[in-house]
Chain A
């Protein structure tokens, strides 16, 4: 019986093909919107996670903060060395310092930042080289005048097509030899653009740009086999000791756990995805109401047909099933078309807003089932009205 009913309803939908398409348009758009929004949301989440993983998955970022007395006590190389040597589980501890500076080459200039780094820091922050090489041990320890360019700096002042490696450029008051170019990676962990920077040995920037041994922050990379809390406790303990903080005195520094940042950002983008999905489902709901509207019109229009069916012996429940099936089949077809449309739209939009396309089978199945369910919810009332018609009145209906 159900197979026959589905067949009959497909026949009925075909008979009113234009009306069927217009009716399901709401469902189609609703499903497409939900699928697209969630898919794009997943893409945004994926791209955020990718950016965060460039911070290093199991890293701490440590920086000084202003105390209640209004002073800032910066960290220095000795603190970083102590952390690297004394805390179990720490693989890398590396400091960073930066200063604004203008880069000059061959008559071109570009305002950027001088980043004082070490190979270890670049490793901890997963900075990769597009061309050229890292610092040598000697260059790092002596703070020599060698530098790597962020891709934006290279583009701004070096001619296209030839490698800048080996060239001599000027950064502020320092003349340095270009030894490499870093890979493009977008915004870095501290909010600055890692692509718009010139990387020099840490000691060079400390000495020649800042004039002291201080650090802006340092990064601690730990073995993921250790618990983040244990390493963090040891780290905080050691730093409090070195800074002679007593008992109840608050920390005058901050430790950020990138894993936690990762989680928090993941939760935030997840919540955002859920929100747009809810907004998109409202359009699905409106589509469902459209279905109910048209089904009611259809019941009125087909009153005579219902009368004929009842006269030849259709049971009330068979008439109800027929109209219910029509609504569900209509919604399910709308759901399928919507999924196809959502597929195309999310691939297109993902490319447009530059996030990866992440196929999510769950949202496709859920929105299809939801659409079909709307057929039941919004088809039931019209179907039940049809089934309650009096056959004599229905046959007389003009």
Chain B
């Protein structure tokens, strides 16, 4: 049973600047991710993991190589076409939560649906469903300032989920949280992954990476090692409990 990979990187290079000041952040990255994987991307700073995530998130384009997402060669798309890909198939979770200030949790979660032009009733229902998935229905009317860091990140996850994306991209999702909240968030991500969503997560904490089924290690602009089937059973057991 050979399924075409959901995401495929072939010889991806990325160079910032030009001439003498040019810096090659990626030197030929090959990586394929199949639907339903939970991938942790690790590596020291400057190893190219963030650049790779930006490319995978269709926020940036590679200088060279081929990036196929759902069989579409993303490097050939223009800015608006990539926006539409993000809108339809990708959900983002950031380290800094990045919620709109002075805007309720519900309105934050509704935001992606606004750009899809969904009618109000449908937006509201979908947003409440997403908030339910992260267990924040009672907090729907609260603004970010009234929520804890862990709650804010769960709102951000709900916002990423509300469009029912194929892939959830998480950039250091637990970076601003204490260990207890971090575990909650990782368990939540694990559960969502089991429900079918593909997750790509950048982290530099081995504990967090342990929740993922696959760990991709970057070094010096290249994939150093891919560890598959490495899911931490203890963590997985905890998640199931």
Contacts and interface: CB of A to CB of B under 8 A. Distances in A.
A312 B111 contact: yes
B147 interface: no
Contacts of A316: 79-80, 83
Interface in B102-116: 102-103, 111-112, 114-115
Interface string B31-59: 00000000000000000000000100101
Interface string A354-398: 000000000000000000000000000000000000011001000
Contacts of B112: 312-313
Interface in A286-337: 304-305, 307-318
B98 A304 contact: yes
A311 B80 contact: no
Contact of B54 (A8, A308, A392): A392
Nearest to B111: A312
Interface stretch (B5-13, B85-93, B179-187, B189-197): B85-93
A83 B154 CA distance: 99
A318 B114 CA distance: 11
Contact of B94 (A1, A4, A309, A395): A395
With most chain B CB atoms within 10 A of its CB, the pick from A1, A310, A313 is A313
B72 interface: no
A69 interface: no
Interface in A1-52: 1, 4, 8, 11, 15
Given A309-B111, A313-B115, A318-B115, A15 B102 contact: yes
B117 interface: yes
B60 interface: yes
Given A315-B83, A315-B84, A395-B94, A4 B114 contact: yes
A312 B102 contact: no
B76 to A, nearest CB: 18
With most chain A CB atoms within 10 A of its CB, the pick from B59, B84, B88, B94 is B59
Given A4-B114, A391-B59, A310 B83 contact: yes
Contacts of B91: 312
A317 B115 CA distance: 11
Contact of B159 (A11, A307, A312): A312
Given A15-B102, A395-B98, A311 B115 contact: no
Contacts of B102: 15
B125 interface: no
B100 A308 contact: yes
A312 B94 CA distance: 12
Contacts of B79: 316
A311 B159 CA distance: 12
With most chain B CB atoms within 10 A of its CB, the pick from A1, A317, A391 is A391
A10 to B, nearest CB: 13
Contacts of B88: 313
B133 to A, nearest CB: 17
17 contacts: A1-B117, A15-B103, A305-B100, A307-B98, A310-B83, A311-B59, A311-B86, A312-B86, A312-B112, A312-B159, A313-B83, A313-B84, A313-B86, A313-B112, A314-B83, A392-B54, A392-B59
Interface of B: 54, 57, 59-60, 79-80, 83-88, 90-92, 94, 98, 100, 102-103, 111-112, 114-115, 117, 159
Given A311-B57, A315-B83, 20 more contacts: A11-B103, A304-B98, A307-B98, A308-B100, A308-B111, A311-B59, A311-B86, A312-B87, A312-B92, A312-B111, A312-B112, A313-B90, A314-B87, A314-B115, A315-B84, A315-B115, A316-B79, A316-B83, A318-B115, A395-B94
